[in-house]
């Protein structure tokens, strides 16, 4: 598989990493009348949302996707029927991503985390001891995408470069919520217009996420809970035993930390990508991993090089030559030598990021 082909697979996987995490936290309000709630300032709501801890609850999340991503291997995580989320109110959580013919299961407890793919009958187990607990929990939450953690990270990252306001209320999954709106400051070079987050009035847990692009009246991505019930959960939900015959891979916290410095052979885009810029202008830049499976090169009889030629436009810069692929909320530049730059920004910002990243590496 050529570097551009591997880069296209990795680009799709990279977009999936961010979106799949968000998919576990949020969705559009129902048709009920907006609730009347006590007035609250934007900074007070942001502070309380960032400080909130998820209570013990169970919920069902769904997604509406108008991102306009090309259908390529690596974006399968965007195609699911529902996500079921369980939390014990402390350290343990369970997330079940239900697809048409398979299910992904993520289970996190106090000293380990599991990720199981029923289609492949394979499981990854991540363990840690007390000394590594803080770092390990962070790693586990990144893969598990805990609802409150995911939304809190969005708010925290965009807060310095956003104008923030409370814009009324909503009823989400039958619960009263405030509508928090983050709008990019005029200096930001982004194709996004705003992000709205519905924050539960009682628990301050984010219940819904809507992403709006410039020139569009409807959200290009809506994710969130359609069911959300606070209450104690069965402890057995947070235990996991792989099915008989499953292929199991175990990783310890210190091993994961060491491998984070070596980009070769990774299958997780977040591990080998860097960023240029910050806030709304952030561009993710990286190289395709060496171990993209060969079977991912063809989808429905068409190779990825052919897909790239159909949906992209040639682009050049100090980085060299490549192809720009535009989607509803931004785009990506896949270079001929296998690098990727992706973000919710115009094409020139992606080109500048590649040029900057290349200059830094030299």
Q: Is residue 55 part of a domain?
A: yes
Q: What is the average pLDDT value for the chain, to the nearest integer?
A: 77
- How far is residue 162's CA from residue 302's CA, in Å, rounded to a whole number? 42
Question: What is residue 78's three-state secondary structure?
Answer: helix
Q: Is residue 112 part of a domain?
A: yes
- How far is residue 188's CA from residue 279's CA, in Å, rounded to a whole number? 8
Q: Is residue 211 part of a domain?
A: yes
Q: Is residue 181 part of a domain?
A: yes
What does the pLDDT look like over 85-144, one tens digit per residue? 999 998 898 988 887 788 889 898 888 889 899 989 999 998 876 655 555 555 444 444
Task: Say which residues have a Cβ less than 8 Å from residue 325's Cβ, sequence separation at least 6.
Answer: 11, 70, 308, 311, 312, 331, 332, 333, 334
What does the pLDDT look like over 322-351, one tens digit per residue? 999 888 788 899 898 888 899 999 999 999
Contact 25, 162 (CB under 8 A): no
Q: Is residue 53 part of a domain?
A: yes
- How far is residue 68's CA from residue 316's CA, in Å, rounded to a whole number? 24
Strand partners, 186: none
Whether the model pTM is above 0.85: no
213, two tokens: 């692009």
How many domains, the chain? 1
CATH label of the domain that carries residue 57: 2.50.20.10
44: domain range? 23-238
Q: Is residue 98 part of a domain?
A: yes
Q: Is residue 46 part of a domain?
A: yes
Tens of pLDDT along the chain (362 residues) come to 555 544 444 444 433 333 344 333 333 334 457 899 999 999 999 999 988 888 999 999 888 878 766 544 444 455 566 789 999 998 898 988 887 788 889 898 888 889 899 989 999 998 876 655 555 555 444 444 455 566 677 788 899 999 999 999 999 999 999 999 999 999 999 999 999 999 999 999 999 888 899 888 899 888 889 999 999 999 999 999 999 999 999 887 655 444 433 433 334 444 557 889 889 999 999 886 555 444 444 445 555 666 667 778 899 999 999 999 888 788 899 898 888 899 999 999 999 999 887 655 55
């Amino acid at each position: 598989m050529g570097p551009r082909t591997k880069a296209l697979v990795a680009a799709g996987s990279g977009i999936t990493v961010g979106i799949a995490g968000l998919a576990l936290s949020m969705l559009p309000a129902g048709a009920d009348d907006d609730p009347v709630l006590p007035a609250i300032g934007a900074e007070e709501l942001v502070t309380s949302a960032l400080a909130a801890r998820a209570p013990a609850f169970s919920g069902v999340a769904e997604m509406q996707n108008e991102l306009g991503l090309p259908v390529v291997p690596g974006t399968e995580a965007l195609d699911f029927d529902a996500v079921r989320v369980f939390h014990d109110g402390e350290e343990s959580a369970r997330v079940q991503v239900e697809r048409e013919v398979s299910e992904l299961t993520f289970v996190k407890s106090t000293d380990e985390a599991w990720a199981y793919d029923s289609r492949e009958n394979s499981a990854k187990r991540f363990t840690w001891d007390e000394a590594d607990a803080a770092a390990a929990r962070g790693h586990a939450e990144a893969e598990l995408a805990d609802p409150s953690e995911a939304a809190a990270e969005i708010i925290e990252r965009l807060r310095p470069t956003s104008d923030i306001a409370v814009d009324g209320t909503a009823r989400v999954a039958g619960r009263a919520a405030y509508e928090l709106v983050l709008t990019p400051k005029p200096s930001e070079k982004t194709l996004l217009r705003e992000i709205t987050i519905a924050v539960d009035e009682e628990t301050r847990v984010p219940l819904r996420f809507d992403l709006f692009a410039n020139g569009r009246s409807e959200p290009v991505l809506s994710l969130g809970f359609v069911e959300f019930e606070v209450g104690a959960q069965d402890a057995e939900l947070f235990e996991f035993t792989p099915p008989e015959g499953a292929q199991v891979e175990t990783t310890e916290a210190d091993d994961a930390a060491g491998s984070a410095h070596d980009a070769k052979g990774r299958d997780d885009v977040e591990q080998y990508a860097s960023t240029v810029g910050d806030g709304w202008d952030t561009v993710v830049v990286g190289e395709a991993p060496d171990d993209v499976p060969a079977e991912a090169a063809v989808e429905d009889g068409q190779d990825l090089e052919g897909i790239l030629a159909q949906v992209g436009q040639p682009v050049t810069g100090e980085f060299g030559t490549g192809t720009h692929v535009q989607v509803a909320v931004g785009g990506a530049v896949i270079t001929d030598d296998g690098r990727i730059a992706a973000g919710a920004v115009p094409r020139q910002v992606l080109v500048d990021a590649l040029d900057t990243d290349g200059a830094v590496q030299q």
